[in-house]
Each structure stands twice: as structure tokens, then as C-alpha cells.
Amino acid sequence: MFLNKSMIKTLQQIEIQKQGGIILGKGLSAVMAAAKPGVSTLALDDIFVTTVRSLGGEPAFLGYKGYPKSICTSINDEVVHGIPGKRRLKEGDLFSLDGGLRYKGLCTDMARTMGIGKISASAQKLLSVTQTALALGVAVAKAGNTIGDIGFAIKNYVEKNGFSVVRSLVGHGIGTEVHEEPQVPNFGKKGQGKTLTAGMVLAIEPMVNIGQFQVNFSQDGWTITTKDGTLSAHFEDTIAITKKDPQILTKLAL
């Protein structure tokens, strides 16, 4: 059978990803509602799995390249890919969660960062800058613009605010696989890179550090931390390029 591995998805495929994106958003929303001091990241992983399975979805990260859990839980200086376990959230933590979902054979990918209880003013600023950076990247994800336009919009805004974007991890196309072509870096030059066309579905995901952009890859083979120990935040949405405005497929909803 012919499998459509093309970067261009059909309207039917995008409609399925939109339905999946709603299930994923419900899964992440349930995790966010439960993310309180004293809760273990493993308990949050369970909440995600239970929620999305009850809605007909399947966690896409579970078993992906050997990944052992269904969400990534990255705290404070952890950038991404923290593995849920016994660690419990505590007051003042900066908590990033990232989830992937497979629904009717197609994937969506989404991440949010939140404060646990009261967080510092600098952590609060990091949250808002990273969320706005994602919004600015999405805003230029239009047919006729390029991949470089997305990265430029993100990096330019982040650096104007005195923070840095992680270079060694990038956004990506997404469809039958979690990671597909093209790569979507959070840095770039206006007008450079592949031209965006209607039907591309992209996961745009700025990872922003308060300090330097360099990261460490930890012993567990997954967790990525900032090299200088400063806080990091991560926001990600799956979007479809259309002939008009970009369509955000992943939505938070309880």
C-alpha cells in the first residue's frame, strides 16, 4: 500500500491531527491541573496515559527510540526529555511537560512550562518570553515564508529579552512519525531554508534558557540540562500550514 510520507498532508490527515491535538491537549491539561507540590512525575505520567487512552489516543513517546515513559517532565535547569520517576514537584519549581500522541495513525506533539506554586520574577519572565516566542514563530509559519523566518522570529525576540535559545534540539515535521522532515530550528535567517507550503504540519518548539544556550546530555541517556545551571522553559505546538493563517492543532482543554 502507498504510504504518504510526504511533507504535505491531506486535509483529511490534518483533520485527524486536529482531533488528536485536542486529545493531547486534554492529556496535558489533566497533568497541569494535577501538578502540585508533593506529586511525583511518575503519577503525572499515569494521569496522561489514563486520560488520552480514555479518549481513544495512544501515547506516542512510549517506546519511541526506547524512551521508557509517555511524557517528558523537565524541572528547573532540565531543558527537555526528563524521565518521569519518583521525583516529586516542590513549591517554586519550574515544570516543563511534553507529550506526544498517536491518533488514527497520526501524531501530534505539545509542550508547556508552568510554575509550581510561587516562582521567582525571573522564572515568570522566562515563561512569558518563551510562550510569546512560540506565538511569534507560529505567526510567520505561512505558505511562501521559509523555515528560516520561523527561527529568526523566535531567536530575535528571545535575545532581545536577554535570554538564549537552545541550538542542539529543533522542531520538526510530524505525521505518521513523531519526527519527520523538515527540521525547524529555533534560530535562522529571514528568507533562508525550505519554503513553507500549505499542507505541511510542523511542531514548533522553542527551548529558552535564562543563561547560555549550551546544554549537557545526562547519564540516563535522555535528560538534557543547561550547562550553566540556569532555568529553562519549553513551549511547543503542532501547527498546519494553510493557504491562509497557520492552524494550531494542539489546544489545552480540560
Binding interface with ligand MF3 (CB under 6 A): 61, 64, 67, 72, 81, 98, 100, 109, 172, 178, 203
Surface-to-core class of residue 117, CB atoms within 10 Å of its CB (0-12 exposed, 13-18 middle, 19+ buried): exposed
| Closest among 44, 136, 60 to 103, alpha carbons compared | 60
Picked from ligand MF3, Co ion, none, the partner binding residue 48 (CB below 5 to 8 A depending on kind) is none
Indicate which single residue of 28, 129, 203, 210 sits in contact with Co ion (rule: CB under 5 A). 203
Q: Give the nearest distance from C-beta 86 to Co ion in angstroms.
A: 25
Picked from ligand MF3, Co ion, none, the partner binding residue 64 (CB below 5 to 8 A depending on kind) is ligand MF3
Q: Give the nearest distance from C-beta 147 to Co ion in angstroms.
A: 15
22 contributes a contact to Co ion by CB under 5 A: no
Query: Which residue sits closest to ligand MF3, CB atoms considered?
Result: 67
Indicate which single residue of 78, 109, 149, 237 sits in contact with Co ion (rule: CB under 5 A). 109
List of residues contacting Co ion (CB under 5 A): 109, 203, 205
